[in-house]
Amino acid sequence: MVDGIRLGFVYALVALGYTMVYGIVRLINFAHGDVFMVGAFTAFYATTHYHWGFVPAMILAMVVCSFLAVIIERVAYKPLRDAPRIAALITAIGVSFFLEYFTALDFVFTPNFISYTPLPIKFKTWDVAGVTFSNVMLIVIAISTLLLVLLWYLVYRTKLGKAMRAVAWDKPTARLMGIDVDMVITFTFAIGAALAGVGGMLYVIVYPQIRTFLGVMPGLKAFIAAVFGGIGSIPGAFLGSLIIGMVETLSQGYLSSTLRDAIVFSILIIVLLFRPTGLFGEAAKEKA
């Protein structure tokens, strides 16, 4: 269960990107998992090749992922903003494949598995009342909680957050009120990608194997968590991620590691069949 909570916090950082982008532009950004992968590689090279510390490498991963997300949004998604949603969805899948195979080239990252050694954090474990805790688990939870609180403050306590909520609710009216809708959308992509960059770094510290397809499964599971919590809802994405993380870990521990993915994906099917709005989601409304 402790491992499930740790995994759930990492998924939450990725799921928030899905849910924020969907809330603003009604786009399921399937390339988000690959931005997560780029964050993992950035942190890996920063800490192992250039000997950066943990915090500077994490900040670098956030900056690189934000920059990449802004480029993707401006080049691939913005021209399709008024196109049918299926066009944007197919484009998102295309961007995802492009990132996976382009970064697999030898002059970018590599097509091979890489072991993340040495890790920027030395593992320490404690046994408390029969439950084993590690310093990595505490760091994952602390960083994720801090970023979630900062995101909550940004969205609900700042003028920019108010603009984000206005754009999510009604873009034409937001424009009439003087809000720069394009800037708000770009900023939303950047914030979501920064969180994914941190998630990528934390994920490969916990599971120290890196490859360019690294973001596929965590990205899909974070997407399921966002749907389960109610895509478009920040609290829903957080709670959904914790539940998905615990379901995955308990399935692996008590059933089988092969069955865990099937169980997690079955949650998506059940949610879509019986409660498509998720735990905290609202019925979809067509918006411009």
Q: Is the dihedral of CA 199, 204, 207, 210 positive or negative?
A: positive
Q: Which residues does residue 126 pair with via DSSP β-bridges, in sequence order?
A: 133
**Close Cβ partners of 253 (under 8 Å, ≥ 6 residues apart):** none
In the chain, how many H helices and how many E strands? 11, 4
Label residue 163 by pLDDT band (50, 70, 90): very high
Q: Residue 283's pLDDT is what?
A: 56
Burial 40-69 (b: 16+ CB within 10 A, else e): bbbbbbbbbeeebebeebbbbbbbbbbebb
Label residue 65 by pLDDT band (50, 70, 90): very high
Is this model's pTM higher than 0.85 or not? yes
How far apart are alpha carbons 80 and 17 in whole angstroms? 19
pLDDT tens readout for residues 68-88: 999 999 999 999 888 888 898
pLDDT tens readout for residues 89-111: 899 999 999 999 999 998 899 88
